[in-house]
Structure 1
Amino acid sequence: MSLLIAGSIATDHLMTFGGKFADSLVVEQLDKLSVSFLVEDLEIRRGGVAPNMCFGLGRLGLKPVLVGAAGEDFADYRSWLERHGVDCSHVRISDSRHTARFVCTTDSTMAQFASFYPGAMAEARLIELEPIVAEVGEPEYVLIGADDPDGMLRHTEECRQRGYPFIADPSQQLAFGEGDLIRQLIDGATILFSNEYESHMIEKKTGWSAEEILSRVGTQVTTLGAEGVQILRASQPTITLPAAKNVTALEPTGVGDAFRAGFLAAIAWGVGLERAAQVGCVLAAYVVETVGTQEYTFTAEQFLARVDESYGPEAASNVAPHLTAIS
């Protein structure tokens, strides 16, 4: 069985502003907004939702398959991911566009202004899943993350047609997608990922109630930031878990991707939804404590200690047998 992770491939240009954006914004004049912020530093990091998730899965000992489109400037990034256990052999390389770029400034309150250049990401719509599956085997899941909207739709429709279990994670594309697109992307998903704000946006744009959304997906996983995570299933008790303990937040970019990676790794291990959320929260803690989305490191012993610290010895004992592949 394989785990296919489809989504944007990008580099992140991350800047830090020492003040508060809110101090420079005049609510009555937002229609004439023109502001500039003197940033304190610039970090150029590897990013994109799909490689971020793949990196996290690789750090936990899995061998995810990256599905997406990049430019010819992807060579160094490919080498990095492959060194960390990611199968990049099915990435489409554009002959005319650069790899996508995410440019983000974060202020002292963790508020962010961001821009995204899609570049080669637009060619994700040209990728067919079936030839990939023919080489890597039937997928346990196909996660369809934020990407070229036509590519996301194509992958979702192909999963339905071919019977591949898929995970809907539209995230950043929710702000731009219309209700019809969002309905098509989430209907029939085995798992729907979103944060709390995105879950309300899904309801508003689709016109579906929370109950109707839940009836159309197998499991709805909603991250709640520092408050943890909530897991909903039709006719099942709600699972609500706190975030990992003793986290020193430094930079939030990529935290959601890390949570998803940890969650999916634990699902692949077969340890259940509660443990999956706990593993996701611990992996997310490593990212929020680091500048960049793929700069964190840990040993199996360190990871297990954080699981124990946050969720107790029983959780740690359930997870421990699956961490032997961590280098």
Structure 2
Amino acid sequence: MNGAGTGRTPGGLLVVGDVVTDVVARHHGPLAPATDTMAEIRTVPGGAGANAACWAAHSGYTDVRLLARAGQDSAAWHNLWLRRSGVRPLLVPDTDAPTATVIALVDAVTAERTFLTDSGAVNRMSPGDWSPALLDGITHLHLSGYLLFADSSRQLALRASESARRAGATVSLDPASAGFLAGLGARRFLTLTEGMDILLPNADEARLLTGLSEPADAAMELSRQFPLVAVTLGSAGALVAAAGKIIATVRAPTVDAVDSTGAGDAFTGGFLAAHLMGASSREAAEAGCRAAAVAVGVVGGRPPVVGGGATDDE
């Protein structure tokens, strides 16, 4: 998808969120307590915000930037990976906390995953990391929902959203985690995100936010607060709602899943890239589903990078 023929020249996309070191362990059998379980283990760059930024660039968006905080020991490595993916990194090095780390336990048969999360430097993002100058050339701000789950980073997210609206930029948010969202509470989340333009939850998050069991009902209810809501349905695809109605339902491509880590981030990046370049809601959802289909076919949450991988000492 590109901007040709849409009649729109998109401005910059600024993602504010998390950069994470992912340790992905694909195990081929049940986890064996108190002993060894054979697995394929890889260390790769990740993070919901960083992943979404990389997928937006992979989907054809030409000006994608990422504001995040990383441990000083690995900031250069993460900078390198972001640049290779076409993202302009705006990483704040943290001398007192390591880069966030996630251990992803992936069932090699079902591709489903379980996360163990050390938020590290992510939770240390603060309003001091923000400047309205970061919005120069930006027409859309995307926030990772992980920012809402700690006091300091929550204040950063709210300040960035307020600055974006004052500057005339639109704002989107991915709720990020049903588990963390349950801890924050649906009512508080909806209060914090009032005034944002696009919400990108998965089905579990949409259910949690509304108390409605059917994703379509939840999407329609959420679209009474958010002008545009896109709910991902896993292998079933996605649906889009606006003004209390479902306006698009799309199927996901059929693929052999290897690792579902980052599929939602891929949808977010693909959807936003297409939407911001003038695609219809259906076309944007289709672009998001195509990106997610690529994502589940690779280990980790990022798009494939042409030219091979990076090493720790680069």
Q: Shift in Å at residue 66 of structure 1?
A: 0.1
Q: Shift in Å at residue 48 of structure 1?
A: 0.4
Aligned pairs, how many? 279
Residue 96 and residue 190 in structure 1: after superposition, are their counterparts in 2 closer, same or farther (change >3 A)? same
1:251-309 deviations in Å (ceiling 9; x for gaps): 100111111111111112212111111111111111101112225258xxxxxxxxxxx
Q: Shift in Å at residue 110 of structure 1?
A: 3.0
Any conservation in 2 of the 1:129–1:155 contact (CA below 8 Å)? no
1:197-256 deviations in Å (ceiling 9; x for gaps): 111111249xxx9455321100111000111001011154431110023x1111100111
Q: Shift in Å at residue 109 of structure 1?
A: 2.6
Residue 129 and residue 231 in structure 1: after superposition, are their counterparts in 2 closer, same or farther (change >3 A)? farther
Q: Shift in Å at residue 193 of structure 1?
A: 0.6
Distance 1:86 1:199 in 2: 29
Equivalent residue, structure 2, for 1:17: 27
Are 1:243 and 2:252 an aligned pair?
yes
Equivalent residue, structure 2, for 1:103: 103
Gaps of 5+ in 2: 1-10, 307-314
What percent identity do the matched residue pairs reach? 25
Any conservation in 2 of the 1:227–1:243 contact (CA below 8 Å)? yes
Provide TM-score, normalisation by structure 1: 0.78
Equivalent residue, structure 2, for 1:308: none
Equivalent residue, structure 1, for 2:17: 7
Match of 1:201 among 198, 203, 208: 208
Does 144-153 or 7-16 show the bigger shift? 144-153
* SS of residue in 1 equivalent to 2:201: strand
Does 283-292 or 157-166 show the bigger shift? 157-166
Equivalent residue, structure 1, for 2:275: 267
Distance 1:58 1:68 in 2: 17
Equivalent residue, structure 2, for 1:189: 196
Any conservation in 1 of the 2:113–2:260 contact (CA below 8 Å)? no
Q: Shift in Å at residue 128 of structure 1?
A: 1.5
Residue 267 and residue 37 in structure 1: after superposition, are their counterparts in 2 closer, same or farther (change >3 A)? farther
Match of 2:284 among 276, 287, 292: 276
Any conservation in 1 of the 2:84–2:305 contact (CA below 8 Å)? no
RMSD: 2.3
User: Which structure has greater strand proportion?
Assistant: 2
Distance 1:170 1:236 in 2: 21
Residue 161 and residue 262 in structure 1: after superposition, are their counterparts in 2 closer, same or farther (change >3 A)? closer
Distance 1:129 1:165 in 2: 17
> Which residue identity is paired with 1:220?
V
Residue 280 and residue 288 in structure 1: after superposition, are their counterparts in 2 closer, same or farther (change >3 A)? same
* SS of residue in 2 equivalent to 1:176: helix
User: Which structure has greater helix proportion?
Assistant: 1
Q: Shift in Å at residue 82 of structure 1?
A: 1.3
* SS of residue in 1 equivalent to 2:45: strand
Are 1:159 and 2:161 an aligned pair?
yes
Equivalent residue, structure 1, for 2:59: 60
Any conservation in 2 of the 1:9–1:121 contact (CA below 8 Å)? yes
Equivalent residue, structure 2, for 1:115: 116
| Structure number with bigger Rg | 1
Q: Shift in Å at residue 154 of structure 1?
A: 3.2
Equivalent residue, structure 2, for 1:301: none
